[in-house]
């Protein structure tokens, strides 16, 4: 293709770029009315479009949590069981995105179809929320209805040395002794590998997976928080006998058979 044709093709694509950002994708399975357990994926969509792959910007992870909380508020029959950060393989072109995850569950779409001109493949970090159906537990439905999270990033000790997982865990347990955590319901703690640049800088909020030879492992703590005004905090803060939650880690390694 000549330079002129390539240039005109690019101009055509840029003229057809959507003007408004997309909302995050909520990938809900068809949930039977009598289902007791399911999960929902909240996937970042495009905030800023570009015909150049690395200039496309997606929703940050915190926005996915906000989207999930809005979904939970509208679906109060589901209780939160677990949360995790997952990577989904995506195929993107100028005006749309096609998920390989969607291809695999859609029998009409050929699996692993060849990539077309103008498309590129990438991975996005999505938020997966597991739920069970428990209409009888009104207390949980009313009190624990807001997901939040904290990222604990290893501190750099010297040029090529960082805090260990155990040291990160010590910081988490110190944080869990703060009075405000009395109104948390811990969901889970996950270890998450994040891409770093040449200066070892990482941004856990970025949902687009960048190619990098450097990675740092962070700990991400998911928890539910009581709604404001549900309880009198002084009742617990003045009780020295209150037991704080502490978290430990155990690695289970496969044995050679």
Q: Which long-range contacts (CB under 8 A, 24 or more apart) does 15-19 make?
A: 16/94, 16/95, 17/49, 17/50, 17/51, 17/94, 17/95, 18/46, 18/49, 18/95
Q: What Rg value do the Cα atoms of the chain yield, rounded?
A: 22
In a domain, 8, yes or no: no
Domain annotation covers residue 246: no
For residue 254, being part of any structural domain is answered with no
Whether residue 219 is contained in a domain is answered as yes
112 phi-psi bin (left φ>0, alpha ψ -120 to 50, beta other): left
Residue 101, domain member (yes or no): yes
Q: Which domain holds residue 216?
A: 14-237
What confidence score (pLDDT) does residue 92 get?
A: 59
Taking residues 78-88, report their average pLDDT.
91
- Is residue 27 situated within a structural domain? yes
Write the pLDDT tens digit of every residue in 187-207. 999 999 999 888 899 999 998
Please say if the pLDDT value at position 180 is more than 50: yes
Name which residue leads in pLDDT, 120 or 13: 120
233 located within any domain: yes
CB 82 within 8 A of CB 130: yes
Distance CA 109, CA 107 (A): 6
Q: Which residue has the higher pLDDT, 118 or 191?
A: 191
CA distance 102 to 100: 5
Higher pLDDT, 5 or 219: 219
pLDDT tens sequence across 130-162? 988 876 555 554 555 789 999 999 999 988 899
Question: What is the pLDDT at residue 18?
Answer: 53
- Mean pLDDT on 79-104: 70
**pLDDT over threshold 50, residue 127:** yes
Residue 110 has pLDDT above 90, yes or no: no
- Number of domains the chain is built from: 1
Whether 163 is covered by a domain: the verdict is yes
Confidence category of residue 58, pLDDT binned at 50, 70, 90: confident
**What is d(CA 83, CA 190) in angstroms, rounded to the nearest whole number?**
9
pLDDT value at residue 38: 86
Between 43 and 212, the more confident residue is: 43
Q: Which residues are paired to 149 by β-bridges? A: 222
- Residue indicated by tokens 């270890």: 191
């Amino acid at each position: 293709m000549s330079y002129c044709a390539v240039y005109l093709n690019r101009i055509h694509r840029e003229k057809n770029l959507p003007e408004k950002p997309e909302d995050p994708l909520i990938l809900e399975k068809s949930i039977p009315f009598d289902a007791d357990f399911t999960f929902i994926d909240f996937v970042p969509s495009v905030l800023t479009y570009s015909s150049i792959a690395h200039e496309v910007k997606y929703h940050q992870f915190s926005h996915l949590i906000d989207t999930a909380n809005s979904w939970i508020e509208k679906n109060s029959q589901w209780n939160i069981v677990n949360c995790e950060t997952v990577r989904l393989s995506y195929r993107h072109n100028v005006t749309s995105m096609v998920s390989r995850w969607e291809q695999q569950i859609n029998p009409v779409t050929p699996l692993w179809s060849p990539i077309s001109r103008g498309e590129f493949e990438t991975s996005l970090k999505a938020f997966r929320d597991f739920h069970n159906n428990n209409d009888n537990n009104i207390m949980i439905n009313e009190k624990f209805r807001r997901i939040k999270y904290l990222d604990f990033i290893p501190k750099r000790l010297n040029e090529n040395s960082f805090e260990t997982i155990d040291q990160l865990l010590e910081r988490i347990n110190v944080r869990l002794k703060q009075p405000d955590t009395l109104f948390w319901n811990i969901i889970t703690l996950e270890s998450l590998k994040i891409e770093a640049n040449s200066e070892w800088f990482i941004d856990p909020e970025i949902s687009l997976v960048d190619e990098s030879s450097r990675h740092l492992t962070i700990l991400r703590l998911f928890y539910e928080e009581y709604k404001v005004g549900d309880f009198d905090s002084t009742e617990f803060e003045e009780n020295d006998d209150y037991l704080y939650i502490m978290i430990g880690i155990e690695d289970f390694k496969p044995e050679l058979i």
